[in-house]
């Protein structure tokens, strides 16, 4: 296995890596940037702006014209050709310390996204929760009580939706019904023993779930029963998210943090994008949204 820096990009809050159209896409959430990188050289091949803080994004349709993205308290569509931003839905909760965070497109074309509510009192329940914007542009609240929702992803083996709560240091799994509702919430794994909350997540083709251990500079892989099978130490302090990509979907790309507003580090690779090759695992290309935009 080889770990190397991809290009010279340094993000404040690198997040939401996404393989689309033979390029690696990602966000710098604090800077309001959506970027595409050449997956071999790391050269920035596309650069788009949206009002920060950003949370996550997904492409709408198979092309490159439009993305669905989460802003502070609303989900919007951004036309990448024209720069036009269109609001699609707004969550019911609002607070200076609440914002939409990580999200993903689902096989049915919808978009699922969770919130983060930080700087809460010890006995203060988190606002927001987990939401789904369906293909009719209707917003549904799926769950609540998540302090920092991260890494939503679908297990290819059983179709269950997995969502991390970084604040609680746990990854939950849910049964995902055909109508988009959730049931049978279970604890998939607790990461307290690894001294970190789980951040971004992705499944490999063998049903293993990979997550970024944001506080300990490492990645972890768990099998379908939630047992730790691999732990990879990284040359940076705060990995934030990951995705599989490359021609055979066998490369793993990792984003990181130099200054998120809560976490910061000043090492030479903090804020960089890493590329891991020779892992021996492959992943999946994510589906795209199918919104009538």
Q: How far is CA 93 from the centre of its chain?
A: 21
Q: How does pLDDT run along the chain (293 residues), one tens digit per residue?
A: 999 999 999 999 999 999 999 999 999 999 999 999 999 999 999 999 999 999 999 999 998 999 999 999 999 999 999 999 999 999 999 999 999 999 999 999 999 999 999 999 989 999 999 999 999 999 999 999 999 999 999 999 999 999 999 999 999 999 998 888 999 999 999 999 999 999 999 999 999 999 999 999 999 999 999 999 999 999 999 999 999 999 999 999 999 999 999 999 999 999 999 999 999 999 999 999 999 99
Phi, psi of 230 (to 5 degrees): -145, 145
The catalytic residues are 199
How far, in Å, CA of 257 to CA of 13, rounded? 5
Phi, psi of 134 (to 5 degrees): -85, 180
How far, in Å, CA of 204 to CA of 210, rounded? 8
Alpha carbons within 13 A on the beta-carbon side of 109: 12
How far, in Å, CA of 121 to CA of 238, rounded? 25
Question: Which SS3 state, helix, strand or coil, does residue 194 take?
Answer: helix
Which residues are CB-neighbours of 158 under 8 A, at least 6 positions away?
none
């Amino acid at each position: 296995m080889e770990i190397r820096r991809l290009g010279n990009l340094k993000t404040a809050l690198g997040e939401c890596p996404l393989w689309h159209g033979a390029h690696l896409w990602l966000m710098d959430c604090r800077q309001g940037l959506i970027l595409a990188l050449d997956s071999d050289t790391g050269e920035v091949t596309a650069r788009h702006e949206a009002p920060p803080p950003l949370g996550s994004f997904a492409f709408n349709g198979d092309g490159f014209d439009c993305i669905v993205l989460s802003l502070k308290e609303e989900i919007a569509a951004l036309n990448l050709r024209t720069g036009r931003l269109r609001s699609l839905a707004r969550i019911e909760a609002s607070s200076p310390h609440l914002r939409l965070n990580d999200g993903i497109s689902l096989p049915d074309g919808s978009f699922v996204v969770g919130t983060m509510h930080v700087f809460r009192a010890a006995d203060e329940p988190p606002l927001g929760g987990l939401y789904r914007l369906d293909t009719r542009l209707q917003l549904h609240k799926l769950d609540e009580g998540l302090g920092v929702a991260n890494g939503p992803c679908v297990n290819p083996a059983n179709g269950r939706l997995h969502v991390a709560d970084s604040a609680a240091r746990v990854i939950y799994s849910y049964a995902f019904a055909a109508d988009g509702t959730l049931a049978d919430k279970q604890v998939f794994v607790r990461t307290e023993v690894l001294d970190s909350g789980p951040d971004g997540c992705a499944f490999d083709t063998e049903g293993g779930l990979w997550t970024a251990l944001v506080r300990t500079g490492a990645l972890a892989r768990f099998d379908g029963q939630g047992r730790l099978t691999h732990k990879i130490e990284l040359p940076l302090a705060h990995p934030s998210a990951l995705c599989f990509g490359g021609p055979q979907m066998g490369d793993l790309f990792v984003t990181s943090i130099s200054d998120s507003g809560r976490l910061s580090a000043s090492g030479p690779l903090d804020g960089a994008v890493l590329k891991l090759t020779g892992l021996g695992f492959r992943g999946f290309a994510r589906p795209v949204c199918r919104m009538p935009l």
